[in-house]
Amino acid sequence: MDLAQVDIGLVEDKFERAMREAYNKYFLTDVKPRRILLALPPRMPHPLMSSILQILFANFQAPSITILSSPILSTVAAGLRSALVVDIGWAETIVTGVYEYREVHEKRTIRAGQLLSEEMAKLLNAELDDEAEPGAPKTDISFEEADEVLTRVGWCKSRPKSNRNTLYFPARTSPILEEFEDAVETPEPTITIPFPRSTPPTSLTIPFAELAKPADQALFATDTALNEFDDHELPLHHLIYRALLSLPMDVRRLCMARIIITGGVSNLPGLKSRILAELDALIQQRGWDAVKTYGSVSARHEQRLRQQKENLDLRTNEGEDQVSESLIPDIPVPASLKEPEQDVIDHKLAHLALRNGPPPATLVGGAVRGVETLGAYAGASLIAKQGIRGVVEIGRDKFLIYGLQGATRDKEVSVVAQQRMSMGPNIERGTAGERGSWTLGVWA
């Protein structure tokens, strides 16, 4: 998060006003000091974190604040221990791999709500310019109007099906179309969108299918080749695929069956199913090989080895089994072409597990599957109800004295008591690194 152009003082005032309004209108709690559990993104900038903690300690008299990571809280709210959390926010989309309540990997992209609102504004401005009369003043859609249209009528198309195995007729030579084109006519649905803030107020009649194009352009970039993107602007399905590819094999098996799509933009109709469908198609196409291509030489080598193995199996099965096995040449077969060995113990355990019915949903792995979550706030409420102490637990007195500089780890062995007292009468026996303090954890 770039804070170069951000007024931290203004952010503090807005946050304090929001907290006071939440306390007075929604929390309905007394002024008694209470412990606070704060859900923050994994990479919160230190100046912004320090400002938030300063306001909570100074104005709301909290004795201690426990900081927990938002992806972990979303995982807890889904009833899981491991998951792949896809948080589609305003400025960026964060994909976090969580394994046993710990963050193990993270990737980011700028394809999120801001870029989606910009694409919607471009679409509406282009449609208004097409319908405007010649010589009329140009109408620009404001940010509030574009965001309102996106929230109310924006949607995402499903993934287009492949026509590889489908018989295709051109539009004018299809026999079914020629027979029924005059009898059956399906009009394209349209929608009328008013813009009362424009000068003068106007309205726009647009096909409903056009409102799905901003999601395709902003989140999936269907019209752009993958080699034209940087690492920070990958489409969502490619970002999730690379995050899964970077995980260890056992962690990947669990995370790919527990994909949690959250964030404000995730409520766009059709977006979650589109992401899962695009990811599943990408996995079926590429597998889990990190190398995109081995070149033509490696392809010919693999084809030659495969052909040799097929010829050897064919000769063995068609009557040449009477030939001594010592006469059959020993052709090395790559591991990818060999049949997997059957583990007797795994086979027996799987057979015994079938007696108790199908496995529960928490044990499913190895397949792309989405999981719903109640959100980070619900996860924080569950943890607070259990009374679990987090790794990052900040005391009020220590923070007001030392600030974020006091976030150090306790040393296992202290040598302060063994130092000589002749160093001076005013030397303190404890320093910031030696006292019992707290740690920033993943925010360090």
Q: For 254-279, what is the HEC assignment?
A: HHCCCEEEECHHHHCCCHHHHHHHHH
Report if residue 424 sits inside a domain. yes
| Euclidean distance between CA atoms 444 and 426, whole angstroms | 32
End-of-domain residue from the set 202, 217, 232: 217
End-of-domain residue from the set 164, 183, 217: 217
End-of-domain residue from the set 187, 217, 247: 217
Residue 146 has pLDDT above 80, yes or no: yes
Q: What is the number of domains present in the chain?
A: 2
Task: Tell me: do 162 and 70 sit in the same domain.
Answer: no
Residue 383 has pLDDT above 50, yes or no: yes
Where do the H-state alpha helices sit in 287-337? 295-317
If you average pLDDT over residues 212-227, what whole number do you get? 89
The reported pLDDT for the residue numbered 422 is 40
If you average pLDDT over residues 97-113, what whole number do you get? 92
Cis peptide before 200 (omega within 30 of 0): yes
Nearest Cα residue to 254 out of 357, 371, 336: 371
Task: Tell me: do 5 and 73 sit in the same domain.
Answer: yes
Q: Write down the pTM of the prediction.
A: 0.75
Task: Tell me: do 72 and 26 sit in the same domain.
Answer: yes
What's the DSSP call for residue 36? E
- Residue of higher predicted confidence among 113 and 175: 113
If you average pLDDT over residues 246-265, what whole number do you get? 92
Highest mean pLDDT among 131-145, 267-281, 406-420: 267-281
What proportion of the chain, given as a percentage, has pLDDT over 70? 75
Report if residue 103 sits inside a domain. no
Cα–Cα distances in angstroms (integers) from residue 302 to residues 276, 295, 322, 371, in the given order = 32, 11, 29, 39
**What are φ and ψ of residue 395, in 5° steps?**
-85, 150
Report if residue 72 sits inside a domain. yes
pLDDT in tens, 122-131: 999 888 888 7
| Euclidean distance between CA atoms 282 and 245, whole angstroms | 12
Q: Which domain holds residue 70?
A: 1-78+373-444
Residue 166 has pLDDT above 80, yes or no: no
